[in-house]
Amino acid sequence: SANRQLMMLEGKSGSYFSSLDSSIDILKKRAQELIENINESRQKDHALMTNFRDSLKIKVSDLTEKLEERMYQIYNHHNKIIQDKLQEFTQKMAKISHLETELKQVCHTVETVYKDLCIQPE
C-alpha cells in the first residue's frame, strides 16, 4: 500500500513538474516575443525619427535659401537707394564747389574794386 501511494505521488509530481516546465517554456517564449516586439517598435521609432530629421533638414535648408535670397534682394534694393543718394550727394558737392569758386571770384572782385576806390586820388 505504501508503494502504491508512492507511485501515485510520483505520477502526480511528474505531471505537476511537467506542467510547470511547460508553463515556464510558455512564459519564456512570451517574454522573448515581448522583447522582439519592443525591439521592432524601437527600430520603427528610430526610422521615424531619422525620416523626421531628414525632412526637417530639407525644410530648414529650403527656408534658409529663401531667407538668404530675400536678404540679397533687400541688399540690392538698399544698394540702389544708397547709390542714388551718393550720386545726388556728389552732384550737390560739385554744385557747392562751383558756388564756392564763384563766391571767391566775387569776393576777389569786391576786394579789387575796394582797393581801386581807396587808391584813387581825390
Residue 30: pLDDT above 70? yes
Rounded Cα–Cα distance for residues 122 and 109 (Å): 22
* Half-sphere exposure (Cβ direction) of 45: Cα atoms closer than 13 Å: 6
Residue 112: pLDDT above 70? yes
For residues 92-119, average pLDDT? 93
pLDDT band at 69 (very low <50, low <70, confident <90, very high): very high
